[in-house]
A and B are shown apart, each in its own frame.
Chain A
Amino acid sequence: MTETTTFESAEQRISQLFLERVTLLNEEAPEFLRNNREQAMTLFRQLGIPSRKVENYKYTDLTKLFALENYNRAFRPTSFDFDMQEVFTCDVPEFDTHILFHVNGWYFEQNKTDLFPKGTIIKSLKRALKENTVLVEKYYGKLADGANDPMASLNGAFAQDGVFIYIPDHVVIEKPIQIINLLRSEEDLYVTQRNLVVVGKNAQIKLMFCDHTLAVHSYIANYLTELFLGEDAVADVYGIQNQHNGTAYFNGLFVHQDRNSQLITNTISLHGGITRNHLQVDLQGEHANASLFGLTLTDKDQHSDIFTSIVHGQPGCHSNQIYKNVLDDNSTGVFTGRIHVMPGAKKTEAYQRNNSVLMTKASKMNTKPQLVIDNDDVKCSHGATVGQINEEALFYLQTRGINEKEARLMLMFAFAHEVLTNIRVEQLRQSIDRLVNKRLRGEVSRCHDCKLECIR
Chain B
Amino acid sequence: MLIIKDLHASVEGKEILRGINLTINAGEVHAIMGPNGSGKSTLANVLAGNTNYEVTKGEVTFNGKDLLSMTADVRAKEGLFLSFQYPVEIPGVSMINFLKTAVNESRKYHQLKELSAGDFLKVMREKKEMVQIDSQLTNRSVNEGFSGGEKKKNEIFQMAMLEPKLAILDETDSGLDIDALRIVANGVNLLKRPENATIVVTHYQRLLDYIVPDFVHVLYKGQIVKSAGKELVLELEEKGYDWIKKELGE
Hey, which bits of chain A sit against chain B, CB under 8 A?
Answer: 390, 392-393, 395-404, 406-407, 410-411, 413-415, 417-418
Would A399 and B48 count as touching, CB distance under 8 A?
Answer: yes
- Expressed in whole angstroms, the minimum distance between the Cβ of B106 and any Cβ of chain A is 5
Q: Answer whether residue B158 sits at the interface, using C-beta atoms and an 8 A cutoff.
A: yes
Q: A401-B77, A403-B71 are in contact. Are A396 and B88 (CB under 8 A)?
A: yes
A392 and B84 alpha carbons, distance in the complex (Å): 11
A390 to B91 Cα, complex, angstroms: 11
B93 x A411 contact (CB < 8 A): yes
Contact partner, A398, options B72, B89, B99, Cβ 8 Å: B72
B93 — which chain A residues lie within 8 A by C-beta? Answer: 397, 410-411, 413-414
Known: A395-B50, A399-B48. 8 other contacts (CB 8 A): A390-B88, A398-B73, A401-B76, A401-B102, A403-B71, A410-B97, A410-B98, A414-B92
**Are B101 and A410 within 8 A (Cβ)?**
yes
Q: Which among B91, B92, B162 is the interface contact of A400 at CB below 8 angstroms?
A: B162
Q: Across the interface, which residues of A come within 8 angstroms of B49, CB to CB? A: 398-399
Inter-chain CA distance A403–B50, complex, in Å, is 13
A418 and B77 within 8 A (CB): no
Residue among B71, B73, B90, B158 making CB contact with A411, cutoff 8 Å: B90
Among all A-B residue pairs, the 6 with the closest Cβ atoms: A414-B92, A401-B76, A398-B72, A400-B102, A396-B88, A414-B93
Contact B73 A403 (CB under 8 A): yes
Binary interface encoding of chain B residues 61-91 relative to chain A, with 1 for a CB under 8 A from any of its CBs, else 0: 0000000000111011100011010011111
Distance of A414 Cα from B101 Cα, bound (Å): 14
A396/B90 in contact, CB under 8 A: yes
A417 to B216, CA, bound (A): 46
**Nearest residue, chain A, Cβ from B79:** A401
A403 touches B98 (CB 8 A): no
B105 contacts A by Cβ under 8 Å: yes
- Closest CB in chain A relative to B12 CB, distance in Å: 15
User: A392 touching B88 by the CB < 8 A rule?
Assistant: yes
Say how far B136's CB is from chain A's closest CB, in angstroms.
Answer: 19
Decide yes or no: A395 and B105 within 8 Å by CB, A401-B162, A418-B92 being known contacts.
no
Q: Which residues of B contact A407 (CB under 8 A)?
A: 73
B109 at the A interface (CB under 8 A): yes
Partner of A393, one of B71, B90, B101: B90
What residues of chain B lie closer than 8 Å to A418, measured between beta carbons? 92
Of the candidates B73, B77, B102, B162, which one forms a contact with A404 in the assembled complex, judged by CB atoms under 8 Å apart?
B73
- Determine the chain B residues whose CB is within 8 A of the CB of A415 once the complex forms: 92
Q: Which of B72, B90, B158 contacts A414 (CB 8 A)?
A: B90
Question: Which chain A residues lie closer than 8 Å to B51 at the CB level?
Answer: 395
CB distance from A430 to the nearest CB of B (A): 14
